[in-house]
A and B are shown apart, each in its own frame.
Chain A
């Protein structure tokens, strides 16, 4: 009998984790990874941080060196675009009519940046940030520029603003909503980061929607509801879309992401999915969610590996994220989902504080700025659903570890 075969589509965190977890769980089938980029699977978080700054060589972004894949007999195929999946015959189709059959298929295709205007030809002065290649291009552009406009005041936009500001360029952030980070966090955190960026010299424009882009000899003009902004180039960070077309076209159920259950199984028995591209159930918040996060990619990668070898260990995680901007490290845990109270511990002026989001006297999420202890404690309190005393939580004379008796 021939060996079982698992194919993995994608070259990111979830794809790599699935393969390494399969290996550590002694899976004895064949494993093949198909990456669309020309790089070994790599970490994305540093792209908008240290890698953009130029502090990290690209080799240090790779999760594993090439020899890892060779030694573990994982076939890694770069520049390999999967065109189509035939779920009936369990085959994937690559370019030049090459095809490959599978027993298990893992779709870990991640996301693509939402385009500002998909109809328009993309100018060489407009950049998106998703890949090593994108960042290398932005780094080259930074060297010859003095002014940049960033469209979108989400985490990517803000991290990039901080780095480029540090590199000495004049930065303007344009945000359509009434505050930056509106989609992901509270007013408290939004105001804090608005202030941090403005103090650093970044111009932050809210309630400003983009109506068009116009190129001229002086650079590129972003035409907004509040007038035009001319700069040397533009970076767009207005969110991402799940790469779920390959799945949907093959007949796998999708709904703003590839639908999976708690075992990361799709609507087809032989197809699994992990990472940013999945729409998955979260038991702590009792709903289906899609997450753009390293932690989720890792945990779902592990879940897929368990499911493939038949362990049946369900995904059961409180989400967490982090963001580095200037001298601040923000660590977020949980989802800000219908909270009824906010408790701030510490001092926003001192750039050291934690914001706890509370529902029925239980912490459901927290944003901690330069407060690792509060972050770690929150993880524990959220997952254990511990009842808290709000007065003790805000009282800094009580160490965070002793807030709950």
Chain B
């Protein structure tokens, strides 16, 4: 278990415990964090689990596949720090990670 802080677009913080080897998306869904829809359940097929992750975490997080990049490219609120939560597996190194959510996933 590591502590991840999910931050809603309005600034509301949700610090929760997330299992290692699950995904950032699953951590949000199983803890009922609003702001991540995850329609396809983690198949990288829908782009409704976008989160923003600060640059300082870049080295600790797996890099992005072309597939993920293409899906993100069409998200209305895409920024440079965007990732799909379902594509990032949680590791021990994520303790204290802050992920921010967009105003909407659609």
B29 touches A63 (CB 8 A): yes
With beta carbons under 8 angstroms apart, the residue of B22, B32, B41, B71 that contacts A43 is: B41
Contacts of A376 in B (CB 8 A): 47, 70-71, 73-74
B40 touches A45 (CB 8 A): yes
**Min CB–CB distance A275 → chain B (angstroms):** 13
B22 touches A60 (CB 8 A): yes
Tell me if A122 counts as interface (CB < 8 A to partner B): no
Tell me if B88 counts as interface (CB < 8 A to partner A): no
**Min CB–CB distance A27 → chain B (angstroms):** 15
Contacts of A46 in B (CB 8 A): 41
CA distance A71 to B31 in the complex (A): 11
Tell me if B62 counts as interface (CB < 8 A to partner A): no
With beta carbons under 8 angstroms apart, the residue of B22, B26, B43, B46 that contacts A324 is: B43
4 closest Cβ pairs, A-B complex: A376-B74, A372-B70, A373-B70, A322-B45
Contacts of A401 in B (CB 8 A): 73
Tell me if A290 counts as interface (CB < 8 A to partner B): no
Q: Please name the residue on chain A nearest to B74 by beta carbon.
A: A376
Tell me if A84 counts as interface (CB < 8 A to partner B): no
With beta carbons under 8 angstroms apart, the residue of B30, B41, B44, B73 that contacts A329 is: B44
**Min CB–CB distance B104 → chain A (angstroms):** 13
**What are 24 residue pairs bridging A and B, where the CB atoms are less than 8 Å apart in the complex?**
A20-B32, A45-B41, A49-B43, A63-B29, A68-B30, A294-B40, A294-B41, A295-B46, A298-B37, A298-B39, A322-B40, A324-B43, A329-B43, A331-B45, A372-B44, A372-B71, A373-B70, A373-B73, A376-B47, A376-B70, A376-B71, A377-B74, A379-B74, A380-B74
Tell me if A198 counts as interface (CB < 8 A to partner B): no
Contacts of B74 in A (CB 8 A): 373, 376-377, 379-380
**Min CB–CB distance A384 → chain B (angstroms):** 13
Contacts of B44 in A (CB 8 A): 329, 372
* Interface residues in A321-357 (C-beta closer than 8 Å to B): 322, 324, 329, 331
Interface size on B, residues (CB 8 A): 20
**Min CB–CB distance A264 → chain B (angstroms):** 18
Tell me if B56 counts as interface (CB < 8 A to partner A): no
Tell me the dominant secondary structure on chain B's binding face: loop
A294 touches B39 (CB 8 A): yes
Tell me if A114 counts as interface (CB < 8 A to partner B): no
CA distance A49 to B37 in the complex (A): 21
With beta carbons under 8 angstroms apart, the residue of A64, A320, A377, A380 that contacts B30 is: A64
Tell me if B34 counts as interface (CB < 8 A to partner A): yes
Q: A8-46, CB under 8 A of B: which get 1 and which 0?
A: 000000000000100010000000000000000001011
Contacts of A64 in B (CB 8 A): 29-30, 32
**Min CB–CB distance A303 → chain B (angstroms):** 14
Contacts of B55 in A (CB 8 A): none
CA distance A72 to B70 in the complex (A): 36
CA distance A371 to B74 in the complex (A): 13
A329 touches B34 (CB 8 A): no
Add 20 more A-B contacts to A68-B30, A295-B39, A295-B46 (CB < 8 A). A45-B40, A45-B43, A46-B41, A49-B43, A60-B22, A60-B26, A72-B32, A294-B41, A298-B37, A320-B46, A322-B40, A322-B45, A324-B43, A329-B43, A329-B44, A370-B67, A372-B44, A373-B73, A373-B74, A376-B73
Tell me if A65 counts as interface (CB < 8 A to partner B): yes
**Min CB–CB distance A354 → chain B (angstroms):** 12
Q: Which residues of chain B have a CB within 8 Å of any CB of chain A?
A: 22, 26, 29-30, 32, 34, 37, 39-41, 43-47, 67, 70-71, 73-74
Contacts of B32 in A (CB 8 A): 20, 64, 68, 71-72
Contacts of B46 in A (CB 8 A): 295, 320, 322
**Min CB–CB distance B51 → chain A (angstroms):** 18
**Min CB–CB distance A66 → chain B (angstroms):** 10
Q: A285-304, CB under 8 A of B: which get 1 and which 0?
A: 00000000011001000000
Q: Please name the residue on chain B nearest to A373 by beta carbon.
A: B70
Most buried by A among B22, B37, B39, B67: B39
Known contacts A376-B47, A377-B74, A380-B74; is-contact A65 B30 (Cβ 8 Å): yes
CA distance A298 to B34 in the complex (A): 15
Contacts of B39 in A (CB 8 A): 294-295, 298
CA distance A17 to B32 in the complex (A): 12
A329 touches B29 (CB 8 A): no
Contacts of A324 in B (CB 8 A): 43
Contacts of B40 in A (CB 8 A): 45, 294, 322
Contacts of A372 in B (CB 8 A): 44, 67, 70-71
